[in-house]
Structure 1
């Protein structure tokens, strides 16, 4: 059960919307399992909608047996044309792809695919990921069991043309779309969310709202010859695909006009009237009428990422329980975001928890075919009696301002996906270096400490130094991190006069601790790789739970004598070698090699006291000489 605002607002009509706050079930307007409020941070309360690859929401088999002539097909949850935006290697033409497929029976387009459960990073064919076999196959239609997939292909083609136009308009910062294109894009976004929910969408036994639609569902099944709720899901999918955008909105409006908005949503508290026609139009109307489209471009030095569960995530929460955004990443450069029309009202009611609300966004500017910027309603006319379709034209224009995000804003949007990807989920991205920086920024945020283990293996994969690069030195080719360069050069030239190896390593570690602001130079890559490997092995040995032990919190000693420093480093090295079975492969004959190893040891101990302090009891007394209790002042 969640609090939501139900709005009656017709897109671009300019009419006043009536508003009603009710406590309603999450089933139709917000499907089961979408609310997650583990912590109080904005990304923690982000609602998860599209968890197709998670076993909970995998669709059930159709109730009928497929015809013998049916050939299994792999149906995607994330469309191929979006996955191709993340393609590695040279792009192939459609003819080249078809020729390759006929020869190998394998999709020739490949993307990077990080499987969180196994910790593997692979280059995978897009024909094998982010989908299921026969997902949209309708066994009730033996003459064409893949009819729905074919209809989806048409919708995806229309949407791909619109999204391609958005990419073309990035340099200008403005995108002008016809009303028909906006409607195609909106329908595409809704259907992507709906189809990813799978057969759980109309499950009458679902603990969150299933009972409220049970009678309606039984009547619907009888009327449309559906045997299971999965058949209903497919039948409703056909309704969304076959019915024009404006007609679906008309169906929703007719329900409100006939029954009254208050009565419709009061029924959702108990039992939906089984005789209600086109009930499924209400969910579509909410997304189409409650929000406006935002087009966001990633920062030039970063990119957007994809996750198996991230196509249509809710983000943000108001005091009324209404969500603020829904996020759709459509390429490494572009994310289409739906922002609630009622955000200003939410902010007046109380604090709105959202990491994305700080991003300013202008509303689209309309220009109707008659040249006006809006509808003119004669005086004395009852707004409720107006047929808005008579005012709308497919050729009406809407000009969108493309918002170019800062690096921090791009990180915030990516953090929504990283926070909500499941432990058995997956990620796809384009640039390895940019993904490494994104993961480093995410993991540096203390509020994300519980999610860091999901990406430990990915950090190691991305920080592997290419075989053609020798052990990192200050003069290695590649990007130069000036601040780090100066600090290491002073050590190499003996200009650093700190009293001990501990103090020397700690001074450089303080520079490197926020890895998100360090450039991806070879020295940093080697540090990240070795530190993440030791951390993962420590989790494997002592458990991955993050908790504190009595006597904390702790902090590193700011200074140690050379004698104590030497003993601490020897004890840490021995703990990693004997306790974890790992050896840090640094050339300690070279001063920078010794410094690099010392920094990893300091960083490892810092991680232990910050996130895994239960490991301290397994370390020697000597090691604990480098740790002190942090004094917390009450105030």
Structure 2
């Protein structure tokens, strides 16, 4: 009620305690959602991988049996503790471990001693990283109220979700928490393309504080805020309680109001979702604008019955509005430039493809053109959805031990056209591949669903082709991958030339005193140049990729339960493991010989190349050993107990105590 009464003044003032209570209410209204109860503390949920140890430790310490019980436990904590108490608990953690230390503990799955109060840090992050703003709908329009419009995430910041947190209070007012990275003093230091959002055109001002002993922030400069705890103590003090905060109410334009409603409506996903509005005319205009946006084709089908019903019951003046799916320039009132609502070039192209009025030689040609235009277009939900899924696959594929490219190296761009056979094979391979990497692909039979999957493949390949480590991981994902992916590039890419020159120089200098400590050191270096330098069609690189993928597939099928103890019960995953690049010659020879014997027995058709004097014979042996190095790197991360069993099986007389991985104890010392 106070918010609505403040609208004519254009500002709204709150003292610290009511503001803290409101912030806590917004947090709990999200946390208490039933959709959060089962997944927030589900130990085996993919998004909780980094917190799994902490969750399991907490369940054991408290005798809790399920994820829902943990959720309820902390809901009681959030409800019973005041905002100040929670922030003090969080400050103790920050003082004890530091912000960076806490982040490292989270990302490295370390178990925190302070199990009970760690969720206070989650609350602290939201409270400190988002500033509070009040938005007002334009006169003549309104915010649409839906079943889930009180707590929606929106937008990306540097690829991470959550630029905004939206709470629709009423048809007139929305509270929006915006990430502090978008504040004017921080935004200028961030790349313009770091943000993706429907709401970037809105520029809410952060609140202006009025401190109890000073005006507009002057007193705060004299308070000793050298620690998180001192800040928490001040804010919970009687002195801090008398501070006030002045919020300038942000009045949206008509296009901005519609864009805001698009964010709300795209989250209406079923016919049973509730939708509430005041004005039929405003709802009809919003629904038609939403339906006409190319990014909303699938979601907008839900609104066809509503549009029909509203059109049939509207007054004469309003019912004259034109039917949906006409030119974007005709679905709004005369004072609105509808072209500001969508990217018209992308919209027209998608409409032409979906209606069949524009055809292409291949699916690849079509997807490439859409991707090219989408890259230049302003942000849309169509592109945002693709970007989100591409990021998931890219993150999984990104190798931690990738080798950075040489300075100034540029990678071959994707071609605008390939043959129909290559196009079919590419998408038949890449769409399931991206699904296995964690991207949610539509898999639908409709033209837009197919196109969206194909454009997602194009976007992923464009990102991967400029990242040597990701391209290496993708090329080694299957024995079929190298041949299919190499068709995207003409011969003599920059990497092709580099590989050719490097291998010839290595062959010519093989009789000279070597700068490599062992065959393993040489194979490691060859792998870096021939396999991890970006897109290539060079046959040496292709053979390395195919052989490495075959080895990984073969050894990945090993039944680890058949290992003897203690290896069978040891952890097999060590995702941070990184090979050393130098080992002694005698260890190198033994390692290669044992791995070749294992592969001969396990990999059908594999026969190690014996080597020889010719370039071809030498290169074949190099490829074998490069692939073994690649296989060892994979085993170290994903089948570590099997690899330890192999290494501990070295003959006693080999002086086997050597280190194969960085930052780990000497292997084989037991």
In the superposition, the TM-score normalised over structure 2's length comes to 0.46
In the superposition, the TM-score normalised over structure 1's length comes to 0.48
Instruction: Indicate the structure with greater strand content.
Output: 1
Instruction: Indicate the structure with greater helix content.
Output: 2
Higher CA-based Rg: 2
Higher relative contact order (CA 8 A, sep 6+): 1
